[in-house]
Amino acid sequence: MTYNTKIKYLKNKINNIKDLQILELGVAEGNSTKMFLEICDKNNGNLLSVDIDDCSNVSNNSRWKFIRSSDDEFELINSKIQKPLDLIFIDSLHEANHVKKVFFNYYNFMKVGGICVIDDISWIPYTVGKKKTNSYVAITNNRIFNKILEIYSSNINKFTLEFFFEGSGYAIITKLDNTSLIQEKKIIISKNNIKNLLKKFFLSKPKQ
């Protein structure tokens, strides 16, 4: 049910885009691939998918082109992107710096108004006491989530950012202009502002 809700949410995001161009990073069993192709058939679109494994048997749809490759083989994959992209779907190697690397590269191919959806950003279902408790996945997804926030914080006027927390979640990035992204910086929260200093001072004073 959770997976179906996620797919439906994503489908609604792109369901009415005409002549849409999609780049999909990560195919696996092809569930998202088949959904994208359904919309491409309806709206005269095209889908370019990349996976390190051979997923070429997922579909024989003429609107689909599959590249067997790591998605950071930029020279190869960039040369195959023929038109500006309406959607980039990132669901490949779940590692924060890899997600950042592919996002920075393929962002340049997005239309203004196009969206990039990054899968598996929620750590909540994998924390202690939850049905899918898995510390590795929880830590990994949390790192991706924080990396996305850092990129957004450094590029706040260049794209909008929203999160969808059903299941393992999505980050949804909508491009606002064609200016280049800048490298992210750590987000620093000051712990020594005047309010906190005063609070610390009064709490430390001995009671009369």
What percentage of residues in the chain have a pLDDT greater than 90? 83
Confidence of residue 67 (pLDDT cuts 50, 70, 90): very high
Q: What pLDDT was estimated at residue 203?
A: 62
Taking CA atoms, 141 is separated from 8, 29, 127, 165, in Å, by 22, 21, 11, 12
CATH code (residue 121):
3.40.50.150
Both tokens of residue 167? Answer: 């299941």
140 alpha-carbon distance from chain centroid:
14
Residue 205 has pLDDT above 60, yes or no: no
Between helix 135-154 and helix 96-107 the angle, nearest 10°, is 40
Q: What pLDDT was estimated at residue 207?
A: 56
Q: What is the pLDDT of residues 126-150, one digit of tens each?
A: 999 988 999 999 999 999 999 999 9
Among the listed residues 117, 129, 83, 94, the one whose alpha carbon sits nearest the alpha carbon of residue 14: 117
Output b/e per residue, 60-94; b: 16+ Cβ within 10 A: ebebbebbeebbeeeeebeeeeeeebbbbbbbbbb
In angstroms, the CA 106 to CA 23 distance is 9
What percentage of residues in the chain have a pLDDT greater than 70? 90
Q: What pLDDT was estimated at residue 113?
A: 97
Residue 160 has pLDDT above 80, yes or no: yes
Note the pTM of the prediction, 2 decimals: 0.89
Confidence of residue 200 (pLDDT cuts 50, 70, 90): low
> Could you give the number of structural domains in the chain?
1
In angstroms, the CA 203 to CA 193 distance is 16
Which class for 107: exposed (0-12), middle (13-18), buried (19 or more C-beta within 10 A)? buried
In angstroms, the CA 170 to CA 118 distance is 5
Quote the domain boundaries for residue 33.
Answer: 2-204
Q: What pLDDT was estimated at residue 174?
A: 98
Residue 201 has pLDDT above 60, yes or no: no
Task: Say which range, 47-56, 83-92, 153-162, 182-191, has the weakest mean pLDDT.
Answer: 182-191
In this structure, the strands spanning 159-164 and 110-119 are: unpaired
